[in-house]
Amino acid sequence: MPRIEMLNSDQEVVSAHDLPEGSTYGDALRESGGTRKQFAALVNGTLRGLYEPVQDGDRIEPVDFAHPAGEELYRHSTAHIMASAVAELFPNVKYAIGPAIKDGFFYDFETERPFTEDDLAAIEKKMKEIVKRNERFGKSMVTREQAIQDFDSRGDRFKVEILEGIEDPEVSVYQHGEFVDLCRGPHLPSTGYLKAFKLLSVAGSYSRGDSNREQLQRIYGTSWDTKQALADYLHRLEEAKRRDHRKLGKELDLFSLHEDVGGGLVFWHPRGARIRKVMEDYWREAHTENGYEIVFTPHVGRSTLWETSGHLEFYKESMYPQMEMDQIDFFVKPMNCPFHIKIYKNSLRSYRDLPMRWAELGTVYRYELPGVLHGLLRVRGFTQDDAHLFVTPDQVDEEIDKVLNFCLEVLRTFGFEEFELFLSTRPEKAVGEPEDWKMAEEALQKALDKSGLAYGVDEGGGAFYGPKIDIKITDAIGRSWQCSTIQFDFNLPERFDMNFIGEDGKAHRPFMIHRALMGSLERFFGVLIEHYAGAFPVWLAPTQVRVLPISQQNLEYAESVAAELKEAGVRVEVDARNEKVGAKIRDAELQKDPYMLVVGRRDEEAGTVAVRRHGEGDLGAMSRAEFKAMIVAEDANRENIAKKVLAEAKATQ
> Which residues are known catalytic residues?
337, 366, 384, 386, 388, 468, 514
In the three-class reduction of DSSP (H, G, I as helix; E, B as strand; rest coil), residue 67 is classed as: coil
Residue 25: which H helix or E strand, with range?
A: helix 25-31
Nearest residue to 11 (alpha-carbon basis) of 55, 49, 85, 62: 62
SS3 145: helix
Judge if the upstream peptide bond of residue 321 is cis by omega within 30 degrees of 0: no
d(CA 609, CA 604): 8
User: CA nearest 514: which of 408, 580, 440?
Assistant: 440
Backbone φ and ψ for 197, nearest 5 degrees, come out as -155, 165
Across the strands, what pairs with 222?
A: 198
The number of residues in the chain equals: 653
Contacts of 205 (CB under 8 A, 6+ apart): 108, 215, 216, 217, 218
HSE toward the beta carbon, residue 435, CA cutoff 13 A: 1
Q: Determine the residue type at 355.
A: P
Closest CA to 309 of 358, 349, 345: 345
How far is it, in rounded angstroms, from Cα 222 to Cα 471?
28
DSSP code for 350: B
For residue 429, give the amino acid letter.
K
DSSP string, 540-607: T-SSSEEEEESSGGGHHHHHHHHHHHHHTT--EEE--SSS-HHHHHHHHHHTT-SEEEEE-HHHHHHT
DSSP state of 193: G
Give the helix/strand (H/E) hosting 324: strand 323-325
Q: 444-465: buried (b, 16+ CB within 10 Å) or exposed (e) per residue?
A: bbebbeebeeebeeeeebbbeb
Helix H or strand E encompassing 13: strand 13-18
**Ramachandran class of 67: left when φ > 0, alpha when ψ lies in -120 to 50, beta otherwise:** beta
Count each helix (H run) and each strand (E run) in the chain, helices first: 20, 33
**Rounded-to-integer distance, Cα 614 and Cα 596, Å:** 8
404: left (phi over 0), alpha (psi -120 to 50) or beta: alpha
The rounded distance, in Å, linking the Cα atoms of 460 and 82 is 38
Check: CB of residue 187 under 8 Å from CB of residue 76.
yes
d(CA 569, CA 564): 9
Contact indicator for 500, 354 with CB cutoff of 8 Å: yes
